[in-house]
Copies of this chain bind each other. A is one copy, B any other.
């Protein structure tokens, strides 16, 4: 058997959800209906539903039915991931648009955060990250030119700044803050938000051995993105 039947059913259901044929909280076919549609036994159809439920994609209620759970992009608080990897690991297509890559005099706040002097030159990049053609995150990043002198010559349409930086200057430390903000007009435009909506803004400052490397403002619409974390207090359950 090339690919398991229950996996084919899962695939089909995931597709239906992704293309929007099955919206959030809508009912999905019952075990018996799926069994008939795919010419499998109920137990096999059940397995597909079961595993999707365990993945948090569906929720089920005995005696009622199975439904599509609220679907949002999610990244982990506990690991620092490349946004591109994150999107691709969900099976979606990733793309990015470079809006700016320049050198500019350092605003006071940035200078302080990166340990530079006021008005000293600093690298600045502005990138929109897309998940399936929909803007997921606006990345505004200031980079310490003393530590990464070649930053401004990179081609960030093929490598994310985060990935590049972690290759060039191994991170030793990172500092995060998470805020909820209402984006300004400029941000709304680039995130293709018709009306301002609540956004998550992750501020990330990274350090290498020699000090602060970069300060990034990562802004994502609250309706498209959330952060997730899983903490274990007992050494007996999953990562």
When each residue 203-236 of chain A gets 1 if its CB lies under 8 Å from chain B and 0 otherwise, what string results? 0000001000000000001100011111111111
A180 at the interface (CB under 8 A from B): yes
The segment from A52-60, A81-89, A140-148, A151-159 that touches chain B is A52-60
Interface contact B233-A171, CB-CB below 8 Å: yes
- Interface residues of A, CB < 8 Å — how many? 62
Residues of B within 8 A of A174 (CB): 230-231, 233
Nearest residue, chain B, Cβ from A180? B222
Contact among B63, B73, B181, B226 with A235 in the assembled complex (CB-CB below 8 Å): B73
Complex copy number for this chain: 2
- State the main secondary structure of chain A at its contact with B: mixed
Residues of B within 8 A of A200 (CB): 178-180
A163 at the interface (CB under 8 A from B): no
A1 at the interface (CB under 8 A from B): no
**For chain A residues 185-202, which have a beta carbon within 8 Å of chain B?**
197-200
Question: Of residues A59, A73, A176, which shows the largest number of chain B Cβ atoms within 10 Å of its Cβ?
Answer: A176
Interface contact B231-A17, CB-CB below 8 Å: no
A36 at the interface (CB under 8 A from B): no
A197 to B179, CA, bound (A): 12
A136 at the interface (CB under 8 A from B): no
A61 at the interface (CB under 8 A from B): yes
A57 to B72, CA, bound (A): 26
Interface contact B180-A181, CB-CB below 8 Å: yes
A61 to B111, CA, bound (A): 8
A64 at the interface (CB under 8 A from B): yes
